[in-house]
Amino acid sequence: MIQLSLLGGIASALGSRSSFGKVLALMPTPNETEGPFYPVKDQNDKDADLTQIEGHRGVAQGQHIIVSGQVQDITGHPVANAVLDIWQADANGRYRHPRDPNPAKPDTNFQGWAIIDSDENGFFRFKTVIPGAYPASGTWIRPPHIHLKISKPGYRALTTQMYFPDEKHNKTDLLLNAKSAAEKSAMIAKNIGQQGNLPIYEYNIVLDLLRK
């Protein structure tokens, strides 16, 4: 009886340690629709500076910003060399897309599309402008947002949208408000300071693992 009691106590203690030792998984960044304006015409310049097109003297209109962050997996490990495919509207709310119905004048000095990689520690950084809000329908104004596709073998490919804090149209956006409070928090970037006259927005990305 004493031996059984001791064995039971040891098993119970081991079970407790096992439960305490579990690593809580991070919430994957929520998926979002790609939208209708993914670039359809290839371009030579898809580097990390969207505010200037190679060969153009002019620079993009609007508030120039830096977006930086880290790609991790759900266990908190950095994801090196993930491919980030980034596209967005210009400061006027107009995409570089032939079927964008927005009557706003396109900014011909805005690159609009970038494809970059995260570094060996999962970090990424790009320069762009705060995109303009634009009408998605007669009653729906889309808030400023940036589209991202993130991929790497071994991880679930992610298509999502990054939103900006304190934007009035966030409160009425049909896509953003279909998300839970935790999901909204993960999709809205944080303003973390300045680099010279450039606001810096932090947007971290969590990829799910492919299940075997």
Predicted pLDDT at 63? 98
Predicted pLDDT at 211? 77
The CB density around residue 142, as the number of other CB atoms within 10 Å, is 23
Taking only the tens place, the pLDDT of each residue in 46-74 is 999 999 999 999 999 999 999 999 999 99
Predicted pLDDT at 150? 98
Predicted pLDDT at 18? 38
Predicted pLDDT at 24? 73
Pick out the chain residues at pLDDT < 50: 1-21
Predicted pLDDT at 4? 37
**Rounded to an integer, what distance in angstroms lies between the CA atom of residue 67 and that of residue 116?**
12
What's the token pair of residue 90?
């210009």
> DSSP string of 104-171?
SPP-TT---EEEEE--TTSEEEEEEEPPPPEESSSS-EEPSEEEEEEE-TTB--EEEEEE-TT-GGGG
**Rounded to an integer, what distance in angstroms lies between the CA atom of residue 47 and that of residue 127?**
9
Phi and psi based region of residue 100 (left: phi greater than 0; alpha: psi -120 to 50; beta: remaining): beta
What SS3 state is found at 32? coil
Predicted pLDDT at 23? 57
Element holding 100 (H helix, E strand): none
Report the Cα 11 to chain-centroid distance in Å: 44
Predicted pLDDT at 10? 38
**Rounded to an integer, what distance in angstroms lies between the CA atom of residue 161 and that of residue 163?**
6
Predicted pLDDT at 22? 52
